[in-house]
Amino acid sequence: MRGIVASQVAIHNQSFLQACRGERPERTPIWVMRQAGRYLPEYREIRARVSFEELCRTPDLCAEVTLQPIDRFGFDAAIL
């Protein structure tokens, strides 16, 4: 677990925030809505250990599964 707190995360890519401010980013951000990560092996590994309720009630696990597609695909942002 990473133990990440949102206020501690440095933003390295400003594309999402630029688009939110109405500015023109270098790349257009996209929105990807995923089905609870069911397609990611790393998500399934966590779900094999904990129930969905436990996952939802554990901030570190919520952050970890939210960041999995960021790590895998290099997306600019995640919304939790």
Would you say 78 and 65 are in contact if contact means Cβ atoms under 8 Å apart? Answer: no
Confidence band, pLDDT 50/70/90 cuts, at residue 57: very high
How far apart are the two ends of the chain, measured CA to CA in Å? 16
Q: What is the pLDDT of residue 32?
A: 67
Q: How far apart are the C-alpha atoms of 55 and 4, rounded to whole Å?
A: 15
DSSP string, 7-21: GG------HHHHHHT
* Mean pLDDT to the nearest integer, 44-54: 94
Lowest mean pLDDT among 14-18, 27-31, 45-49, 70-74: 27-31
| pTM of the complete model | 0.60
Mean pLDDT of 50-69: 92
